[in-house]
Amino acid sequence: MNISVVIPLFNEEESLQELCTLIDKVMQENYFSYEVILIDDGSNDKSWQVISELSAENSNIKGIKFRRNYGKSAGLNVGFSKAKGDVVITMDADLQDNPNEIPVLYNMIVKDGFDLVSGWKKKRYDPLSKTIPTKLFNWAARKASGIYLHDFNCGLKSYKNAVVKRIEIRGEMHRYIPVIAKWAGFSNITEKVVQHQARKYGVTKFGMERFINGFLDLMTITFVSRFGKKPMHFFGVFGTLMFLLGFGLFSYIGGAKLYAMLMGFSSKNIADMSGFYIALTSMIIGAQLFLSGFIAEMISRNANDRNNYQIEQKVGI
């Protein structure tokens, strides 16, 4: 099979018929063998009824329904596990992604050899309340991840099948699939300018809280990708620095007090000096960070996937 199109959705009954018709038209024109996997993320409208009818009419269309709303990451994760196509393409169900982009995205994987191609909605039909936070989010994601994409959160992406089978998406980490893919060893990542269309039906399902959650998830994925296997390298370094800083300040204060006593000078009691409490707090924080790193290291070394390495090829074994 050439292509699997994975589409997570929530309350998109009005757009599904038109979307599947457009996808089928593109596939037929380009002689692609394909499947469309629609993941109903606990919709409370008639989305599942529409999916069932579409599947009955076209055997290429398949559906999965969640009992409740789990989020986009869950939908993608389940869709990826079921995808059989050589190339997996994700898109949103709201018709803001254009199915006519599919052939080029497919060729960039098959002919150009990229592991992942991320769409870039260079010209967006969104209000400023959405576009400005999006630009800030993408700037922060580029700086933190080292992957220079303009639009991390674009739903229109294409992947080698091997990529989606070797990554796990949970929580709200779908925004950082390129980061997760790179972490798994798939570093041949690029982007393509894609057409962004104005929403035709319904309203957006995302509010401003997604940007706050996005930055929190960015911190999580950055930390896990860099220090997930070696947490002591993070906690231990900062813990040692904090402890040495506090110990140095305490030694200076104690030494000065001892010198004053030996020379017969009058001086404040150490307990009356603010520096003493700063030094004490710094040493306590340093010790806590070091112990946190030690505990995290023990947890990491006992994790089930501690020796789970991505092996691309073998020879003579």
Per-residue pLDDT reduced to its tens digit, 133-178: 777 777 877 877 788 888 888 889 999 999 999 988 877 788 889 9
* Predicted TM-score (pTM) of this structure: 0.73
Structural domain of 201: 3-227
Q: Is 87 in the same domain as 186?
A: yes
Task: Write the DSSP assignment of 68-91 as a string of letters.
Answer: S---HHHHHHHHHHH--SSEEEE-
Q: Of 208, 227, 246, which marks where a domain is finished?
A: 227
Does residue 21 sit within a domain?
Answer: yes
Residue 11 has pLDDT above 80, yes or no: yes
Please state which of the ranges 84-88, 99-103, 118-122, 260-264 shows the lowest mean pLDDT.
260-264
* The two three-digit tokens of residue 235, written as one number: 């906690």
Same-domain check for residues 210 and 72: yes
Domain limit, last residue, from 202, 227, 252 = 227
Contact predicate 109/160, CB 8 Å? yes
In the beta sheet, which residues pair with residue 72? Answer: none
**Is 309 domain-assigned?**
no
Are 243 and 223 in the same domain? Answer: no
Nearest in space to 149 (alpha carbons), one of 173, 183, 170, 118: 118
236 within a domain of the structure (yes/no): yes
Cβ proximity of 19 and 50 under 8 Å: no
Domain count, the chain: 2
Residues 173 and 236 in one domain: no
Task: Label residue 211 by pLDDT band (50, 70, 90).
Answer: low
The answer as to whether 317 is a domain residue is no
Average pLDDT over residues 217-244: 78
